[in-house]
């Protein structure tokens, strides 16, 4: 049997679905899978790792990376010289209507959109957005248990030092936006970008910052940060940082929102990737 090594991060719950799909793709072949969490990866699989990118999932064969997120069955088969005879199924689509910008503002002002701290009691609800209302397609339902299991282990580490892990937005019982804030050392442990200045144990870092299907991105990104400010008192640590990327105003790491809410540039990880930080009052 041949072996592929899979390095994964549990920070994103969808990684559980990626691992599940990879197992399915290689079932019945002469290839077995060795699954390794990021913090236990072999040294040879750390060589060349960039500090300005997050790890979700990387697939190695003979110590050479052959695929990364989003996993592609054809690339993996080509790298392993496996005959291709399949049709690639699409991701499950988010179902339901979104909100136009004016509708969003109306629902916001009327109080129909609620913003809640992420806590031990409701973190399963918060996870539902990336499983059932993700803007780029949902992971198949058959993998949801594995997805929840991965992310739950991250939250269990958060609750050892903090009582909240950020904020999420709900409308009509559906999660439509989230902003996760975790102890810096947890994001570092699992391969996500953070700053390096100051003491890790004093610092919170923004992890996942995402908007649900059909929701105006820039507007929700703004509102999440606005409402995060209102729960700063729930955090024990007093420094918060986020990764900003220039020229990607509606992407996963929007620098402008940090600038708007009083964060200051403290590090540059690469040409367009910066660390922005501020003290929590």
Domains of the chain (ranges, CATH numbers): 2-80 (3.40.30.10), 101-279 (3.40.630.30)
3-state helix, strand, coil in the chain (%, to 5): 35, 25, 40
pTM of the full structure? 0.93
Distances (CA, A) of 261 to 76, 78, 272, 275: 43, 47, 20, 14
Residue 272 pLDDT > 80, yes or no?
A: yes
If you average pLDDT over residues 33-40, what whole number do you get? 97
Residue 113 contacts by C-beta under 8 Å, 6 or more apart in sequence?
104, 107, 169, 170, 171, 176, 223
pLDDT band at 84 (very low <50, low <70, confident <90, very high): confident
pLDDT tens digits, 182-223: 999 999 999 999 999 999 999 999 999 999 999 999 999 999
Distances (CA, A) of 240 to 19, 23, 126, 226, 272: 32, 38, 21, 14, 20
If you average pLDDT over residues 62-69, what whole number do you get? 94
pLDDT tens digits, 158-187: 999 999 999 999 999 999 999 999 999 999
Establish how many alpha carbons lie within 13 A of residue 77's alpha carbon, considering only the half-sphere containing its beta carbon: 14
Quote the pLDDT of residue 90.
53
CA-nearest of 68, 127, 101, 134 to 220 is 101
pLDDT band at 261 (very low <50, low <70, confident <90, very high): very high
């Amino acid at each position: 049997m041949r072996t592929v090594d899979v390095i994964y991060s549990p920070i994103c719950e969808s990684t559980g679905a990626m691992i599940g799909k990879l197992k399915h793709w290689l079932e019945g072949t002469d290839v077995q899978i060795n699954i390794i969490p990021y913090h236990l990866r072999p040294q040879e699989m750390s060589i060349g790792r960039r500090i300005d990118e997050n790890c979700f999932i990387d697939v190695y064969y003979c110590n050479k990376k052959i695929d990364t997120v989003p996993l592609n069955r054809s690339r993996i088969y080509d790298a392993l010289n496996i005959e291709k005879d399949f049709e690639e199924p699409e991701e499950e689509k988010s179902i339901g209507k979104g909100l136009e910008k004016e509708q969003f503002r109306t629902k916001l002002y009327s109080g129909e959109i609620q913003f809640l701290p992420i806590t031990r009691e409701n973190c399963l609800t918060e996870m539902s957005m990336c499983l059932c209302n993700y803007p780029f397609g949902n992971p198949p339902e058959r993998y949801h248990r594995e997805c929840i299991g991965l992310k739950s282990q991250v939250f269990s580490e958060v609750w050892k030092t903090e009582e909240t892990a950020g904020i999420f937005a709900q409308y009509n019982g559906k999660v439509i936006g989230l902003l996760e804030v975790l102890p810096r050392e947890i994001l570092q442990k699992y391969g996500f970008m953070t700053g390096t200045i100051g003491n890790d144990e004093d610092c919170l870092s923004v992890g996942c910052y995402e908007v649900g299907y059909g929701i105006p991105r820039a507007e929700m990104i703004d509102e999440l940060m606005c409402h995060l400010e209102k729960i700063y008192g729930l955090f024990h640590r007093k420094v918060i940082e986020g990764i900003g990327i220039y020229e990607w105003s509606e992407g996963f790491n929007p620098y402008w929102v940090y600038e708007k809410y009083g964060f200051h540039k403290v590090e540059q990880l690469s040409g367009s990737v910066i660390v922005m930080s501020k003290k929590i009052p």
